[in-house]
Chains A and B, each alone.
Chain A
Amino acid sequence: MSSRGNPINTVVILVFILFLLLVPAFLKSNYWLHVLSIVGINVILAASVHTIWCTGELSLGTAGFMAMGGYGSALLAMRAGISVWAAMPLGGLLCAIVAVALGYPFMRAKGIYFSILTLLTGEIFRLTAWYYRSLTGGPVGLSHIPSPEPINIPGIAPITFDSKITYYYLIVVAALLSLFVLFRLQRSQVGFTWRIIRERDNLAASVGINVLWYKISAFAIGCFFAGIAGALFAHFMHLLAADASGKFGMFTSIYILIYMVVGGEKKFAGPIIGAVSLTLLPEVFRPMQEYRPIIFGALVIFMIFFMPQGIVDIPHSVLSWGRKMVGR
């Protein structure tokens, strides 16, 4: 995902990937591998919401679509006996199809109304999982979700995915792949058209751009990756429960929005940086866990007042501030 013409970015990204691949060697406990896996899942979620945000619409249904992808993939693997490798993308595809069907009516509402619609739809997905006991186990939860089947590479021992370390690598690969696809999409003509629609939808329509379809496509692609993140989560945890305070509760959707605001929504890297730093931050301040919503809320207000461009813009601000100090 190197951007053409900027060698610094390429180097930063390569070093980062190398770091991700080597990090398990330095970690003594499985606990941190678990945390880093969750970071990877949150990164996919943040990038997926950012893709929808390109068209100017904010989806707050992330957690719901994540639940759909997670339960979809887990149930396909457990009840239908499909290989987990096929079930995970199918879970994402299910989300994309539902997103197209819902996007058609939803995208006629704009701005805050679209956000409210997606927020409530996400909650409905979660509540469906909560009350549909015969299928999802309801409040008891869906347990014994299988790990992905081992891969046989001739010559080397088969790679199994029931340990934290191999699953960590699976999430790293999935996250990098998702980011690569979304980055290319946002930089393409399609991504350009999304941002054009965000700026002036009536003018875009008047020059022949099918605004509704482009918005639906962004929504479907975003929801696909939210579903993939959910599927990765399901086969990672081996246990899903749809309680309101869990991963599928609407707080997750709100947190993803916070990652995007804190990281910076203008650049592709922004939401990723936000997701990484804000998922790691509570781990460092473990004793203050219960105050997390308050701290996050204060952080967002701080960012909006003092750094509206987000963390991603800090190097740029420091540079221009330095230039002002030097006098040029």
Chain B
Amino acid sequence: MLAKTPIKEVKGMDMRGTPVLQVVDLTKYFGGLGAVVDLDLNVHQGEISGLIGPNGAGKTTVLNMIAGTLSPTNGSLIFKGEDITNLPPHRMAKKGIARVFQSNTLFGNVSVITNVRVGLHLHTNIGFWGAFLASSYTHNREKLLHEEAMEILGFVGLSDQRDQLAINLPHGSQRTLCLAVAMAVKPSLLLLDEPLTGMNAEEVNVMISLIKALRDERGITSIIVEHNMRAVMGLCNRIAVLNYGSKIAEGTPTEISENSAVIEAYLGTEQDVA
């Protein structure tokens, strides 16, 4: 196992209270390969936590386990004091964990607003039979849901494209729509898997300000996996660095950028950070 570089605890850190999400000894083996080994991570309320590391370090595997897509080989996930290890994805969503997938994952053949409407699924309150027997209650509910969806689209700036098919949007807007769908779940924890890939400079800035606004205006806690170092350093309150499935460092962006082990393992190759 790689030696962990101890990071000095920042003063006042204890005042952050109990974490929203506690990742304890999280381990995932694919056959003999340890994708994630004994990962400990604490994510606090209202923070953006970065998860960085070279390709194949196990970042997406960690997100997949938190989102319930993969079940861990070992270890546990504690969300708001509740053990959520091994819950299936839809139960994770019910607990308040939403995610943005690494590739653009959308319902391509329906309109933009319908995508967000599907995201509101948990808040629909129309049961199996209620949906079958249309009533004035379901009608009013529909109206309310439409307004909610429009509000979310307004927030991400896609109101004008609401009736377009999602598949016809340009890449950057599809990425924002992915975020809008995740927002519709009304999560308390948002998992962002490389939200900035393939975007141009302007789109990157828009996305960064959106993620910031989610934290500052709506108090949504996020975990972000991203290769764009400038964005990660600007966005995150805390950063954890993974390499070969193990955490090699953790701390504030400044601490991470000065950490010699991190620079050696990963940042040393990134010219734009230096």
Contact = CB atoms under 8 A, between A and B. Distances in A.
A41 to B, nearest CB: 25
B98 interface: yes
B259 interface: no
Contact of A207 (B110, B131, B184): B184
Contact of A200 (B90, B105, B124, B131): B105
Contacts of A184: 132
A199 B124 CA distance: 20
Interface stretch (A189-197, A254-262, A292-300): A189-197
A202 B101 contact: yes
Interface in B113-143: 118-119, 121-122, 124, 126, 128, 131-132, 134
B67 interface: yes
B78 to A, nearest CB: 20
A202 B92 CA distance: 13
A103 to B, nearest CB: 16
B144 to A, nearest CB: 14
Interface string B94-116: 10001101000111111000000
Contacts of A190: 128, 131-132
Contacts of B108: 199-200
A211 interface: yes
A211 B94 CA distance: 13
Contact of A208 (B93, B107, B132): B93
Contacts of B122: 207-208
A188 interface: yes
A208 B87 CA distance: 12
Contacts of B88: 205, 212
A210 interface: yes
A207 B185 contact: yes
A162 B126 CA distance: 44
B94 A208 contact: yes
B196 interface: no
Given A196-B118, A200-B105, A202-B105, A207 B98 contact: yes
Contacts of B98: 206-207
Nearest to A205: B89
Given A205-B88, A208-B93, A189 B124 contact: yes
Which of A185, A193, A208 has the most chain B CB atoms inside 10 A of its CB?
Answer: A208
A207 B182 CA distance: 7
B69 interface: yes
Contacts of B99: 206
A188 B134 CA distance: 8
Contacts of A207: 93, 98, 118-119, 121-122, 181-182, 184-185
Interface in A178-235: 184-185, 188-190, 193, 196, 199-200, 202-212, 217
A204 B88 CA distance: 12
Interface residues of B, number: 30
Which of A199, A207, A212 has the most chain B CB atoms inside 10 A of its CB?
Answer: A207
Nearest to B116: A207
A189 B105 contact: no
Contacts of A211: 90
B131 A203 contact: no
Contacts of B121: 193, 207-209
Interface string A260-302: 0000000000000000000000000000000000000000000
B131 A189 contact: yes
Contacts of B119: 207
B118 A204 contact: yes
A255 to B, nearest CB: 29
A188 B132 contact: yes
A203 B107 contact: yes
Contacts of B107: 196, 199-200, 203
A203 B185 contact: no
Nearest to B122: A208
Nearest to A212: B88
Given A184-B132, A207-B184, A208-B93, A199 B67 contact: no
A156 to B, nearest CB: 33
Contacts of B90: 205-206, 208-211
Contacts of B109: 199
A281 to B, nearest CB: 32
A207 B117 CA distance: 10
B93 A185 contact: no
A193 B121 CA distance: 9
Given A199-B107, A202-B101, A206-B182, 6 more contacts: A190-B128, A199-B110, A205-B89, A207-B118, A208-B185, A217-B128
Interface of A: 184-185, 188-190, 193, 196, 199-200, 202-212, 217
14 contacts: A184-B132, A188-B134, A193-B121, A196-B110, A199-B110, A202-B101, A203-B101, A206-B89, A206-B99, A208-B90, A208-B94, A208-B121, A209-B121, A217-B128
